[in-house]
Amino acid sequence: MKINHILGTILVYRFKVAKQNKQDTIYIGLETNPNESFITELVKIERFQGYSNAYNLGRYFRIRNASNWAKCKQITGLFKTDRPNVFYGDYKENNIKSLLLFRIDEITENLTVYEYPKGFYPGRSFIDELVKEI
């Protein structure tokens, strides 16, 4: 789904839980993703295991672009916001960083991913304002 916003077109992806275990959750798309996106039909959110120097990080977002999850591309860490179950991260392509917002529904545990226009990555205070909109 696309949302026209003052910032440009925001791509919105909705996923439902396909499989869940102690360390991660695999989601399957509820609708077909636009061709211009890197986000695949299957995605995974896994717990941060402490294998990097990241801080304020609880989870990672991974897309299914290989036959084995261990070889799939890890897109971003999910950084906490002031709202429960809402996180932010980024997608880097050719040294251009773009904002991603993630919302996990408290009841259904379904996932919604908001992909902002390429090259749009504001400061933390503006991200906090965007989080209030979703």
The answer to pTM > 0.85 is: yes
> CA 91 to CA 100: how far, in whole Å?
7
Chain centre to alpha carbon of residue 37: 12
Structural domain total, the chain? 1
The yes-or-no verdict on residue 7 having pLDDT over 70 is no
Position 9 scores a pLDDT of 81
Q: Where does the pLDDT of residue 1 fall: very low under 50, low under 70, confident under 90, or very high at 90 and above? A: low
Dump pLDDT digits (tens) for 83-110: 989 999 999 988 899 999 999 998 888 9
Instruction: Count CB neighbours of 51 within 10 A.
Output: 7
What is the dihedral angle through the alpha carbons of 29, 38, 7, 102, rounded to the nearest 10 degrees?
Answer: 50
Domain enclosing residue 39, as ranges: 2-133
Position 25 scores a pLDDT of 93
Closest CA to 116 of 76, 69, 83, 84: 76
Dump pLDDT digits (tens) for 13-69: 999 999 998 889 999 998 766 666 788 899 999 986 655 555 566 788 999 999 988
Position 87 scores a pLDDT of 93
125 φ, ψ (degrees, to nearest 5):
-65, -35
The yes-or-no verdict on residue 8 having pLDDT over 80 is no
